Amino acid sequence: MESGVRGQLDFVSLKKKLSIKVAEGNLSNLRELAGRMKTISRNMFKRKYGNLLGLLKVEVQVAPLTALAQYYDPPLRCFTFQDFQLVPTVEEFEHILGLSMKGKVPYRYSDQHISTVTLAGILKMHPAELEGKMITRGNSRGIS
């Protein structure tokens, strides 16, 4: 139990020692260049790189960004606070990815099955080898 408390204290002290310096770049030339792009060029750029040019319109707030960066957990790819994790909701992911889930059925494991041949192709295995590793638990068949 002591090691768990010590680990938590080390984590807290590490967070206090973390020093983050943010340098705001001058994006005015890049914004001007993006503004000069013709519609065709802009559409081709958007097709190839997504809404990257849209980031030029975002106003960066350095103080909140610096404060949040101290709580970012790279392995989990979310913000971890003492009692909870701050991650995007499904709706926020829809907006971030530019996808709409309206009118679509959510993924339901029991209704969707993959063939052994397809799964073997994904795992780059021979179907017979994969078949030998398949197990059945209840009414589900898969790999342990």
pLDDT at 38: 93
pLDDT at 106: 64
The answer to whether residue 68 is domain-embedded is: yes
The verdict on 67 and 53 lying in the same domain is: no
Cβ atoms 45, 37 nearer than 8 A: yes
The verdict on 74 and 54 lying in the same domain is: no
Does residue 84 carry a pLDDT above 80? Answer: no
Name the 3-class secondary structure at 134. strand
> Quick one: pLDDT band at residue 111, thresholds 50, 70, 90?
low
The answer to whether residue 108 is domain-embedded is: no
The verdict on 39 and 53 lying in the same domain is: yes
Does residue 108 carry a pLDDT above 70? Answer: no
Does the predicted model carry a pTM greater than 0.85? no
The answer to whether residue 77 is domain-embedded is: yes
pLDDT at 13: 46
Phi/psi of residue 55, each to 5°? -65, -25
Indicate the number of domains in the chain: 3
The answer to whether residue 18 is domain-embedded is: no
**Taking all residues of the chain, what is their mean pLDDT, rounded to a whole number?**
77
The answer to whether residue 1 is domain-embedded is: no
The verdict on 98 and 76 lying in the same domain is: yes
The verdict on 47 and 75 lying in the same domain is: no
The answer to whether residue 5 is domain-embedded is: no
- Please report, to the nearest 10 degrees, the dihedral formed by the alpha carbons of residues 67, 71, 75, 76 taken in order: -110
The answer to whether residue 15 is domain-embedded is: no
> Quick one: pLDDT band at residue 112, thresholds 50, 70, 90?
low
Cβ atoms 118, 127 nearer than 8 A: no
The answer to whether residue 49 is domain-embedded is: yes
Give me the domain span that covers residue 37: 27-58
Cβ atoms 115, 130 nearer than 8 A: no
